[in-house]
Amino acid sequence: MNLAELNKIAVAMVTPGKGILAADESSGTIKKRFDAIKVESTEDNRRDYREMLFRSTEAMSKYISGVILYDETIWQNAKDGTPLVKLIEQAGSIPGIKVDEGTQALPQCPGELVTVGLDKLAERLKKYYERGARFAKWRAVIDIGSGIPTMTAISVNAHALARYAALCQAAQIVPIVEPEVLMDGDHVIDRCYEVTQRVLNKTFQELRVQRVELEGMVLKPNMAISGKKCPKQASVAEVAEKTVRMLKACVPAAVPGIAFLSGGQSDEEATAHLDAMNKIGNLPWKLTFSYGRALQAAPQKAWSGKSENVAAGQRAFAHRAHMNGLASRGNWESGLEKKVA
């Protein structure tokens, strides 16, 4: 393992002003997104949509540091035969790959899940590296509800995240470690804070046990935020203050950067929260974005599966990427949202 090289990639992934495009939706998830814009989810349509994003020169070169791909996408070629991975590289961005294989019910823990996919991961990582992937992603899912999460669910998911991260570094691939505490439910922000703190503490304990080099990884957590169904939604300032406090208590300064998931927030909410955190300043790590829906909802709607709408889709993508790029520096203002090209 070459730690200096891993650290170089991890630092590049959290370059100020840039963030990560999560284009790793599973076949089921992208079908739901395409259904919403009345586009059939065929392999060609999925390819065309993602090619549109990766050829968005302004967005990719200025604001996107890396792209997380789904297994199908990393092997696809653009219409002209160029591998999609090459389009990402040509834009100055880093190709990455989602390597977990989804979730299964956790035995003896009703309502809780464990992420699977460690079997044969070492062999898969070698193939992904050869194809051009330089980072990977593994998502653990922790739900908040009556009596959950249990320490069992937190422990087994943290252990799997750490094993995955160690395998990635052995394969010279930077791991994105994603322990997601879901924002579904009616819990208050303080309940999210408390659960996320437990999850992060256990995750870093496991990472140390598995000898993962913190300088060669990126953390992708949720923010401390109210549940979607909570009648009292925390303000932007409260989300920012509590998230930064929580992260300072849990995340070692050796980690180069933290790239948040949007987790169901609206486009502008996700941007406003990230901006407010960076405005607090004096942080030991870079704070940026690794958004999926919060970067893609607008371009999907503008594109709607029509080749004549590709330019409009790219403009919408560039705008959202630009807004989040500004937020990653603490330079976003809500008034900028109205100045769409």
Model pLDDT for residues 209-250, shown as the tens digit of each residue: 999 999 999 999 999 999 999 999 999 999 999 999 999 999
What span, in angstroms and rounded, lies between the C-alpha atoms of 242 and 223?
9
3-state secondary structure (DSSP) of residue 7? helix
pLDDT in tens, 181-202: 999 999 999 999 999 999 999 9
pLDDT digits (tens, 9 = 90+) for 25-36: 999 999 999 999
Give the residue among 214, 196, 213 at the shortest CA–CA distance from 157.
196
Residue 341's pLDDT band (cuts 50, 70, 90): very low
Percent of the chain topping pLDDT 70:
99
Q: Name 104's bridge partners.
A: 114
Specify the pLDDT at position 338.
Answer: 80
Please compute, for residue 142, the number of CA atoms within 13 A of its CA located in the half-sphere on the CB side.
31
Q: What percent of the chain has pLDDT over 90?
A: 98
Structure confidence at residue 304 as a pLDDT band (50, 70, 90): very high
pLDDT per position as a tens digit, 42-97? 999 999 999 999 999 999 999 999 999 999 999 999 999 999 999 999 999 999 99
pTM here is: 0.97
CB of 193 closer than 8 Å to CB of 240? no
pLDDT at 339 over 70: no
**Residues with catalytic roles:** 178, 220
Q: What distance separates the 2 farthest-apart alpha carbons in the chain?
A: 53
pLDDT classification of 340: cutoffs 50, 70, 90: low
Average pLDDT over the chain, rounded to an integer: 97
What is the residue type of 55? R
**pLDDT of the residue at 67:** 98
The helix (H) or strand (E) run that includes residue 218 is strand 218-219
Predicted pLDDT at 140: 98
- Average pLDDT over every residue of 141-163: 98
All domains in the chain, ordered by first residue: 3-338 (3.20.20.70)
Torsion sign, CA atoms 68, 70, 73, 74: positive
